[in-house]
Amino acid sequence: MRRTHKGLMYGVVPCYFDFTNRECPGVEGRFIGCEALLTFCDLVFEITCYLVTLARPEYEPLFPIKLTGTLDWDGEEIGG
């Protein structure tokens, strides 16, 4: 995975992102415990989306990614 950006997934999980394919970006936890937290937050997000769509079938969920920085080819932050 080529790390192009860093940020937060679900607003709480620090991750690296690979946006070379903008339709389906790659996601990788920044620290050791992030993968378990990412899995838990994904479960909560999916259950919430499912329950909201049962109540409102027209609901279209947005994916919660917050980018906090851009990385260069070596994984170092640009401008920081």
- pLDDT, tens digit, for every residue of 3-28? 899 999 999 999 999 988 878 889 99
| Average model confidence (pLDDT) across the chain | 89
Host domain of residue 16: 5-70
CA dihedral 56, 26, 72, 64 (to 10 degrees): 20
CA distance 21 to 19: 5
- Residue 79 within any structural domain of the chain: no
Inform me whether the pLDDT recorded for 35 exceeds 80: yes
Per-residue model confidence (pLDDT) at position 2: 87
Residue 77 is assigned to a structural domain of this protein = no
User: Which of 58, 55, 80, 59 is closest to 68 using CA atoms?
Assistant: 80
Q: Does some domain include residue 75?
A: no
Residue type, 52: V
Angle at 57 between CA 26 and CA 41, to 5 degrees: 35
Q: Is residue 31 part of a domain?
A: yes
Cα–Cα distance for residue pair 2/26, rounded to 1 Å: 9
Residue 15 lies in a domain: yes
Count how many domains the chain has.
Answer: 1
